[in-house]
Amino acid sequence: MTTPLRIAVLGSTGSIGRQTLDVASRYPERVQIVALAAHSSVDLLIEQARQHRPEIVALADTAAAARAASALPGTEVGSGTEAVEALATLSGVDLVVNALVGAAGLHVTVATLIAGKTLALANKESLVVGGSLVTSLASPGQMIPVDSEHSAIYQCLLGEHADDVAKIWLTASGGPFRGQSRAQLECVNATQALAHPTWNMGPKITIDSATLMNKGLEVIEAHHLFGTDYDQIRVVVHPQSCVHSMVEFSDGSVKAHLGATDMRIPIEFALSQPRRWDAPLAPVDFTTLGSLDFEPPDYETFRCLSIAFQAGRTGGTAPAIMNAANEVAVAAFLDGRCGFLDIERIVETTLDRHSAEPLESIEQVEAVDAGARETATGLLL
């Protein structure tokens, strides 16, 4: 019998975190939950701790941590953001699932890589803002993507030579507003934007999917994960979300990854790789699948995708500025404090007001992030 993989699930109360625990609970002999962390969802974290019996949990919110400490005698409870990050470096942890949302995940990514643990990366924002500062810390095979498109690309690249890659085709569902005009988008509200046609995810990424900023973040994520030039990354709208992404090689051959539209598959692969485990999901049945559609994205209507390509090409701190403004604008849209198209306006204006600098340090990225948030917040007033 092999020893189980010992994992820390950071962001365990969110969409990816809960699905990670669901995968782990199916393989108790293969996966051991050593640590759990969240921001402030204390009731759910307590429930998860009682079920999965981690050695240690942490909550970024200190009041929530105090409540967890009294509810979980016998479990070590950390309090504050540093306690959350410290879980990534525990000696008893082999693999860290970074399922935090937003640039808040940067420290977890950095700490995990420095500690030499395998990083199952859902938190794409940390790679977008940290860019080469993050990739320079990772040894080959240390960073395993959880994002479905990047997991698909990672799998298509297994056994291939990087020099033979001609293009990466990133598939996009198109979100709930595919085919709509800008006049229609002026009037949409958060409830409509949260109704994603194919994926059930946390609120921030669901809004990013509606604006296509999510695909923009994923373009930058793919650039850093696979070392692919922006000219070699193409986005294609594929409303069925059955093809999770594709890689085209120098001879014109294309490998595609297909599967159920369920994040538990890429999460499970991040834990099982290079092997595969069973999954209780219906496989693709090509006899009943029907047609698969592909169309170009509408860059004019969904400007966030063009803005992200541009920020990626500019490089340096531009993606961090863009990401910070986007986080502020998405939070405001979810609260009804701005309109849907204000998201791209706030992101674009914030990028105009801050000049990008070459990346130097994590501290610099944090300062840039804070400055961009201040500008974006000012634009909301």
Instruction: Kindly state the smallest distance separating residue 83's Cβ from ligand NDP, in Å.
Output: 9
Binding range to ligand NDP, per CB under 6 A, among 100-108, 226-234, 236-244, 366-374: 100-108
Nearer to Mg ion, 147 or 348 (CB): 147
Tell which positions 47-86 bind ligand NDP, by CB under 6 A.
Answer: 60, 81, 84
* Beta strands at 243-249 and 233-237: parallel, antiparallel or unpaired: unpaired
DSSP state of 165: E
Tell which positions 300-359 bind ligand NDP, by CB under 6 A.
Answer: none
Q: Is 67 exposed, middle or buried (0-12, 13-18, 19+ CB in 10 A)?
A: middle
Instruction: Kindly state the smallest distance separating residue 31's Cβ from Mg ion, in Å.
Output: 23
Instruction: Kindly state the smallest distance separating residue 150's Cβ from Mg ion, in Å.
Output: 7
* 151 contact choice in Mg ion, ligand NDP, none (CB below 5 to 8 Å, kind-dependent): none
Cα→Cα distances 7→235, 257, 322, Å: 33, 26, 32
Q: Under a CB-based contact definition with an 8 Å cutoff, are residues 210 and 176 in contact?
A: yes
Q: Which of 99, 297, 111 shows the shortest CA–CA distance to 205?
A: 99
Of 7, 8, 15, 265, the residue at the interface with ligand NDP (CB under 6 A) is: 15
Nearer to Mg ion, 84 or 152 (CB): 152
Q: Does residue 246 sit in helix, strand or coil? A: strand
Q: Does residue 36 sit in helix, strand or coil? A: strand
Rounded Cα–Cα distance for residues 55 and 246 (Å): 40
Of 13, 79, 151, 211, the residue at the interface with ligand NDP (CB under 6 A) is: 13
By CB under 5 A, residue 147 contacts Mg ion: yes
The alpha carbon torsion through 316, 324, 197, 189 (nearest 10 deg) reads -140
By CB under 6 A, residue 193 contacts ligand NDP: no
Single-letter residue type at 260 = A
Q: In this chain, which residue has its C-beta nearest to ligand NDP?
A: 14
By CB under 6 A, residue 379 contacts ligand NDP: no
Nearer to ligand NDP, 17 or 297 (CB): 17
Instruction: Kindly state the smallest distance separating residue 188's Cβ from ligand NDP, in Å.
Output: 20
By CB under 6 A, residue 14 contacts ligand NDP: yes
DSSP state of 106: H
Rounded Cα–Cα distance for residues 60 and 81 (Å): 4
Rounded Cα–Cα distance for residues 205 and 37 (Å): 20
Q: What binding mask, one character per residue, do residues 23-52 give for ligand NDP by CB under 6 A, x or -? A: --------------xxxxx-----------
Q: Under a CB-based contact definition with an 8 Å cutoff, are residues 21 and 52 in contact?
A: yes
Determine how many CB atoms are found less than 10 A away from the CB of residue 258.
15
* 37 contact choice in Mg ion, ligand NDP, none (CB below 5 to 8 Å, kind-dependent): ligand NDP
Rounded Cα–Cα distance for residues 128 and 183 (Å): 30
Instruction: Kindly state the smallest distance separating residue 216's Cβ from Mg ion, in Å.
Output: 11
Q: How many residues does the chain have?
A: 381
Rounded Cα–Cα distance for residues 53 and 72 (Å): 10
Q: What binding mask, one character per residue, do residues 226-265 give for ligand NDP by CB under 6 A, x or -? A: -------------------------------------x--
Instruction: Kindly state the smallest distance separating residue 45's Cβ from ligand NDP, in Å.
Output: 7
By CB under 5 A, residue 369 contacts Mg ion: no
- Contact residues toward Mg ion (CB under 5 A) are 147-149
- Contact residues toward ligand NDP (CB under 6 A) are 11-17, 37-41, 60, 81, 84, 99-101, 104, 122-125, 147, 199, 201-202, 204-205, 263
